[in-house]
């Protein structure tokens, strides 16, 4: 459900039985629901529980929520981020 005044995005692919909902408070992921897209459930849980600041990745996720793994790597993996691999 997210938080009052927060933002969210939903992806609904009925033909492939997939659904993804991401809920944000500022630039932090505070909630998610996923059906049929289970490969990154641990990433979703980790981002929510650790309150990682997503920065510019929030806007990217609002446009395409399937980029959650890229956002996770870009925000948590210093080697890729500092090397410019994950911008």
* Structural domain total, the chain: 1
In a domain? residue 48 = yes
In a domain? residue 85 = no
User: What range defines the domain where residue 34 resides?
Assistant: 7-79
- Identify the band that residue 40 occupies on the pLDDT scale cut at 50, 70 and 90: confident
Q: Give the mean model confidence (pLDDT) for residues 62-72.
A: 94
Show the DSSP H helices in 1-87 as ranges.
Answer: 41-50, 57-63, 68-76, 78-82
What are the respective helix, strand and coil percentages of the chain, to the nearest 5?
Answer: 45, 30, 30
pLDDT of residue 75: 87
Q: What is the sign of the dihedral through the CA atoms of 46, 42, 65 and 72?
A: positive
In a domain? residue 62 = yes
In a domain? residue 2 = no
In a domain? residue 1 = no
- Identify the band that residue 84 occupies on the pLDDT scale cut at 50, 70 and 90: low
CATH of the domain at 69: 3.30.390
pLDDT at 38 over 60: yes
Q: What is the pTM of this model?
A: 0.82
């Amino acid at each position: 459900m997210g938080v009052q005044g927060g933002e969210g995005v939903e992806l609904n692919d009925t033909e492939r039985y997939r659904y993804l909902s991401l809920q944000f408070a500022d630039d932090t992921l505070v909630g998610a629901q996923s059906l049929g897209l289970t490969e990154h459930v641990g990433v979703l849980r980790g981002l929510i529980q650790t309150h990682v600041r997503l920065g510019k990745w929030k806007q990217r996720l609002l446009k395409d929520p399937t980029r959650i793994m890229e956002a996770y790597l870009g925000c948590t993996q210093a080697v890729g981020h500092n090397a410019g691999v994950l911008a």
